Structure 1
Amino acid sequence: MGTQQGPHPPVKRISTEGGETPLVGPRNEGEVEVNGKACKALIDSGSQITSITYNYWQSHPALQKKKLQSSKIPIEGAAGQAVPYHGVLHIDLKLLGKEFKAVPTFVVPDSDYRSSVPLLVGTNVIRASRMHLRAAYGTQFLHQVKVKHHEWYTALQKVERAEQREMHDVVGPAVYTGRTIHIPGGKEMDLRCKIKAGPQRKTYTALIEGHPSLQLPQDILVAKVLANVKRGCAPVRVMNLSQRVVTIKRHTNLASAVLVGMEKHVSVWT
């Protein structure tokens, strides 16, 4: 793909804290509808992905009919360990009065804990839910959630605070500058993007990450990558989790660039 696809920069991988890694304090659990069936869920603002267990997939009347999609995206736990998984499904989730269709969800092995809590809801869903609640109820949505659905309050509050902190250091959008590109299903690519709002003659370090307000195709995930921005340009890593080709056109806003210091924690995939 010429300058559009280059060597992968060194990055950390998808973070997920919901596996065998002990959490600090009590686990935050709630109930979510998975393709019309109630399911106990771990609401994890420390995980950037959503996952279900293998046995739950096999026992669910609707999900067991779905074909598992292969994927090579590495997943890393909170302690840095590799997290195994069987593949990816697209499932429907209903929470806090809103249904989210075809959510890319990783199918992971069962464990003692996950056998009783088969669903883990990560920030890809928590952020989308936050946007819906803000649009529906305004800036006071957190107060309403705290009163009626306290199990969701902590996760939504953490996401809200994280985004507020990042707003102070946002450099600007990362805009794809290459030709129209077609990303095959199940593939990842690094796309060269221009960050027009930042310094153009100075090299600086930025956290390149996706943002729900960019309204990318639902099956496209954008990696969180700590990158050196040179002459206003940086790579943005995207992954197509669908089984079909997804087209990215020139001038598409793929990600946001956030100015960071060495102390900022970096993990991958939103």
Structure 2
Amino acid sequence: MKPILAPPTDWERVALDPPDDVPAAASLLCRGRVHEALAKVPTDELFEQAFWSRLRGPDCHVAVGVPSGLSPALLACLVAAWMGLKPSAMHNDIGGTVSRVVSGDGHRHDQSWHTDSTAWVEPNRYSVLALLAGRPTVHESTDMLPVATVARALTRDPVVAESLAHESVTWRRNFPHLPNLDAPVLGDPVTRWVWPVVEEEMERVSVNLRRGVKLTAHIVNELPFHRPVVSAERLLVFDNWRALHRGPQVERASGRELIRIKVTGVAVL
């Protein structure tokens, strides 16, 4: 496991009240308050180089430490704005830019391997996760599986790998009020994977793609993966195009709640 990356020390001195919840965090970003605060502090080239090197590297994620002078939610806002999330890009379409993630609540596909925003025209490139509530243990990790690892495993069957890369699946059957959106599972450069959606498509796709989907569903549970933990001391940033992720197998009674901020991407046109 790589060391946790410390954020710029000047960020601890930003004149912003820490957001208590998701609406407050969204408001800070929408109104440009976070961007104004960042504009007043000097750049930190060492942090920038280390951050992007790890995020763009083979592990597809980076853990950022939460200093004692910052709340996890405020640091998440600072990181997202610093990465390039603009106030004009904030929205509430199909899950929205900023959302609350309650472990063990509602559907459980988030506890299986998936990517975010598969119904978006262009899924968000990056996701920032920070703790809102709860005291996660080392066993409550947000697991990360690089797509490159999956792609290498699929080379055992080049025909199905080709189908996964080029044959389209419909991603908006649960959004009938929106135009259809068809895209491949292992597109270049965007990966889309949510098992309930793909499973529903099984009878509508070719034999080769059906085989590919079944093979993928099998091998993702056999491959090695990373186990970063989102806690009061660290937040997580990952590449949503280049990695699958899954939440911990916990019940709602655990009290684990996260704030999720999506960076870049287009939900609807």
Instruction: Provide the TM-score with structure 2 as the length reference.
Output: 0.26
The structure whose residues are more often helix, as a share, is: 2
The structure whose residues are more often strand, as a share, is: 1
